Structure 1
Amino acid sequence: MLVLGIFIVCLSFTTRAAIVTSIKPIGFIAASIADGITLVKILLPEGASVHNYALRPSDIKHLQEADLVVWIGPEMESFMKKPLEKLPTQNTIEISQLPGVQSLLLLDQSHKESRYIDQLPNIENHIQFKNHEYHHYHNKYNMHLWMSPEIAIQIAMAIHSKLLGCMPENQDQLNANLQYFKASILTMNKTINQQLAPLKGSNYFVFHDAYTYFEKYYSLVPTGYFTINPEIQPGAQHLHYIQMQLLSKKIQCVFTEPQFQPIVVKAISRGTNVHFGILDPLGTEISISKDSYVKFLVKLSTQYRSCLQED
């Protein structure tokens, strides 16, 4: 019966053929491996935040009809947990559970500080700076996995393996796509390292800890970041503390995100000499193609550089 079940799943690739990914950057990776073979659909709409999204009836339908669903895991996309429980496990890839990914996960409590800003009802409202202990959304690991080129290769390999098992007739194309993706990562790394090397040691704040994997990979360290739940506004005492940090340190840039309003950040930065930049963790303006993941990381690098190199 198990063999028959797998055969039916594989057969669906030849008739409807669609991969559904939770967020756009995962779709970038899937599109590179599936280029010229099958379609890729993105579940999270443009401009939405993965932290508070609620599935629509049409989303449920896409998941039910998908031949393969690729997601990070319930720690990041909690809205997908129940719908995916009804799908066969061979129809899904839970990235955080891949053996090649688990060894690359970064702990959220990697920074420790002697005190908290003040006491709040729940930990999502804490503000994190360098050396400040924090458990992001009560998770042990940081789940913004798509920011790591190393993990991206592991994701690509998992998608390649899954498709190869169901589409052996496309072996040559799948192998070529995977090799192309790996080669493009190597080329991209040279470009990004050249862009970011002069910026090591720069002082800046990011909106929240979505960039830890990218920053560690390319040797950047933020001075601090707003580690509140992105949907919860910080209290007045927190805002005052951040403002004092901005005034007392030579902060070059404060980065906001297109998914969230930067009004509060700009308000507490008034009277300081900081520049403002935008980091887009979801690649909002990048179209899906075999090169979209590389374009996504290069654009992030450019966004860092454009703000941190301002006079």
Structure 2
Amino acid sequence: MTHISKNNARKLVLGAIASSVLSATMVSTASADVVASLRPLAFIAAGIADGVTETQVLLPDGASPHDYALKPSDLKKIKQADLFVWVGPEMEMFLQKPINTLAQNKRLALAEQPNIKALLMAENQEDEDSHSHTDEANHDSDHEHHHHGEYNMHIWLSPEIANFAAQDIYERLLVLYPDQKEKLDVNLRKFKENMTQNDEKIVNILEPAKNKGYFVFHDAYGYFEKHYQLAPLGHFTINPEIQPGAQKLHQIRTQLVEHKAKCVFAEPQFRPAVIESVARNTGVKMGTLDPLGSGLVIGPDSYMQFLTQLSEQYASCLN
């Protein structure tokens, strides 16, 4: 009986040691990730982190970066991240408090990086106050949730800024994983090479769409449109959470007819009936632009796939 008890005791001790080692391993791997606020930022990060660490995205498909309510699981993901990548407080205001609890070396606000800040486009303020008086309450809540400051914060739609973002993520990962320098160097070089090739491909896709007028639902595409020399006539709203007022809709309908616009674009997250009503009987086609790459799998080539998909969405409606 004594011999059996000793054996059992030994097994219990070994089991406890194994369990504690497993727990420690799980704790250490739980935080070994890059987490990005938005899917396109995760696409860029995954290109650099490929083979070094996993990349996760915070916002689920269909969620808007303009107004998102964090869940306890989101807060846990932020806290456990080795590196959290986001645009910055002017885009994702809901992240400001939780991000401020992270150590400086664990957070990267891309729009605040000197190499990106220099490339920011001025925000289009033309219809900031164009809502009717009945929209005033909503207009106030718009500013509470998504402050439109001096600059356009949809920076992930700029191929040029994406290359700088890749460089910034690379530099942070180099500090976090110094033993992976060789792999990180290869990843950065590949990302930039693939971006150059992809850029040439997109220029060809969009060539027939140049100088063809269109309206977008949401004022988000300035960087992409400028880079590829597209010809937008305007947008329905600055913040997709806020429906445009009657005066704005009348202006757009008039422009649709006068400018002979080829297309009006909705978005997967926002398909307001207002677009259909304005475009009705004008002969203008309706298309959909996805500025967040919903449904695309996060991987080393995802960002190029994202830009290609967006260019094809433009071309299919405008050609």
Residue 269 in structure 1 maps to residue 300 in structure 2: no
1:142 paired with 2:152, answer yes
Counterpart position of 1:53: 68
Match of 1:42 among 19, 42, 57: 57
1:296 pairs with one of 294, 301, 306: 306
Q: List structure 1 runs of 4+ shifted beyond 3 angstroms.
A: 12-16, 115-125
Task: Write the mapping of 1:111-260 to structure 2, written as runs, cut at 5 A.
Answer: 120=133, 137-260=147-270
Q: Which runs of 5+ in 2 are unaligned?
A: 1-26, 140-145
> Structure 1 CA distance, aligned partners of 2:50 and 2:280?
47
Post-superposition CA distance 1:49-103 (Å, at most 9, x none): 1111111111001011111000000000001000011111110101011010011
TM-score, structure 2 as length reference? 0.84
Give the counterpart letter for 2:65 in structure 1.
Answer: V
Matched letter for residue 281 of structure 1: P
The structure whose Rg is larger is 2
How big is each residue's C-alpha offset from its partner over 1:20-71, in whole Å with a ceiling of 9 and x where there is no partner? Answer: 1000000000001010110111001111111111111110010111110000
Secondary structure at the aligned position of 1:241 is classed as helix
Deviation of 1:243 after TM superposition, in Å, equals: 1.6
Which residue in the other structure is 1:79 paired with?
94
With normalisation by structure 1, the TM-score equals 0.87
- Please give the secondary structure, in 2, of the residue aligned with 1:307: helix
5+ residue gaps, structure 1, are 1-11, 126-135
Q: Report the AA paired with residue 264 of structure 2.
A: V
Distance 2:287 2:200 in 1: 23
Within 1, Cα distance between the matches of 2:271 and 2:131? 24
Q: What percent identity do the matched residue pairs reach?
A: 48
Deviation at 1:249, TM superposition (A): 2.2
Identify the residue that residue 6 of structure 1 maps to in structure 2: none
Contact 2:123 2:151 in 1 (8 A): yes
CA contact (8 A) 2:237 2:243 kept: no
Residue in structure 2 matched with residue 7 of structure 1 by the alignment: none
Letter in 2 for 1:43: L
**2:318 counterpart of 1:308:** yes
> Distance in 1 between the 2:285 and 2:57 partners?
33
SS in 1 for 2:271: coil
- Are residue 105 (structure 1) and residue 120 (structure 2) matched? yes
Which whole-Å CA distance do the structure 1 matches of 2:308 and 2:274 have between them? 28
- The question of whether the paired residues in 1 share the 8 Å contact of 2:35 and 2:55 is answered with yes
Give 1:107's aligned amino acid: A
Number of aligned residue pairs: 286
Q: Is the 8 A contact 2:123 2:148 kept in 1?
A: no
The code of the aligned residue for 1:238 comes to K
Distance across 2 between alignment mates of 1:227 and 1:162? 36
Superposition RMSD in Å: 2.2
